[in-house]
Amino acid sequence: MLSHATARDWLIPYADGMLAADERRRIDGHIAGCAACAAELREVRELNLLLVTLPPAPPTSVAPFWLKLQAILPQRRTLRIPTFIGYRRVGLAFAVASIAVLAAAATAFAAPSALPDNPLYPVKLFEEDVHLALSAANDRVSVQLQQAGERLREAQAMAANHKPRLAESSLRAYTIMVDDVAVSLKSPTTPKANKDALHALRARLGAVERENANRDDDVAAIKQLVAAAVDELDRIEQQESATPPTLVVGEQATPDPTPVVTPKPTPRATPTDDGDRHEHRD
C-alpha cells in the first residue's frame, strides 16, 4: 500500500508521465481513494497547461544581469592569508650560502692532493701562494722547499700517467722555486732542516728520472730538466761545504799605524832697524 506522503511526492512525475507502469498503477489506486491527492493532481495538470501556453521569454544577456545582481549582493570580505615570502627568501639565501660554504670547504680539503690534470689544481696553487705570503720570514725557505717537493711529486705522477707535458711543467715550476731560494741555501749557516729538505729533493728527482726511464718512450725534455735540477743541487751543496774565510786575531791582524806628519811652524818676518828709523821720523 502506497503511503500518502509518497503519493504526493510522485504526483508531479506522474503528471509529467515520468513514472513506470507499475508505479502509475499504484498512484492510480491511491488517487481513487484519496480526494486530497486527486485535487492536487488536478492543480498540477492545470499548472502544466498554463506553462505550456505562456510565450517564450526573450533572450537576455547574462552579463548585465550579473552586474546588477552583484551590485545588490553584499561585498565579500577578503580573507588575507599571511604569506611567508620574506622568510622564504631568507631561507633560500641561507640555503644557497650553506651550499656555497660546504662546496668551498670540500674544495679546500680536496685541493692539496690535486694533480695538474685535476680541475682543483688552480685552487691548490692559490692556497700555496696564500700560505707562502702569510709565512714568517724565517720559514719562507722551508715552505718553498716543501712546495718544490710537491712539484716533484706531481712530475713523478704525471710521468707515470703518460702525461709528459704536465710533468715538464711541474719540473719547470720546481726549478723556479729552487732558484728563488738558492741564495739562502748556499749560505754556510743553512739550517739542518733545509739541508734535509735538499736531500729529499735529490731523492725525488731520482724517482722522477726512474719513472721517466721506465717508459718505453722516455721523454728527453724530462731527462734534461732533471739533470739540470741535480746540477743546481750540486752547486748549492758545494757552496755549503766551502769553508768561510777566517778572521786572523793577533799582531798580524793589526796594521802598522800610519805616521802622522807634524807641520813645521812658519817663521814670522821681523822689522829692520831702517824701518824703525823711518817710523820714528814720521
Q: What is the pLDDT of residues 203-228, one digit of tens each?
A: 888 888 888 888 666 688 888 888 88
Burial category of 212 from C-beta neighbours within 10 Å (exposed 0-12, middle 13-18, buried 19 and up)? buried
Distance CA 10, CA 24 (A): 9
pLDDT for position 277 = 47
DSSP letters for 11-25: HHHHHHT-S-HHHHH
Q: Which amino acid is at 117?
A: D
pLDDT at 18 (0 to 100): 85
Instruction: Say what percent of the chain tops pLDDT 90.
Output: 0
pLDDT at res. 279 = 46
**Residue 242: predicted pLDDT:** 56
Of the pLDDT bands very low, low, confident and very high (cuts 50, 70, 90), residue 182 is confident
Residue 256's pLDDT band, with cuts at 50, 70 and 90, is low
Is the pTM above the cut of 0.75? no
The yes-or-no verdict on residue 119 having pLDDT over 70 is: yes
pLDDT at res. 135: 86
Output the CA–CA distances (angstroms, integers) from residue 101 to 69, 107, 160, 171, in the order listed: 60, 10, 35, 34
Cα separation, 103 vs 32, in Å, equals 92
Mean pLDDT of the chain: 76
Q: Which is more confidently placed, 252 or 162? A: 162
Reduced to 3 states (helix: H, G, I; strand: E, B; else coil), residue 78 is: coil
Q: Using 50, 70 and 90 to split pLDDT, how confident is the model at 276?
A: very low
Q: Which of 88-102, 120-134, 223-237 has the lowest mean pLDDT?
A: 88-102
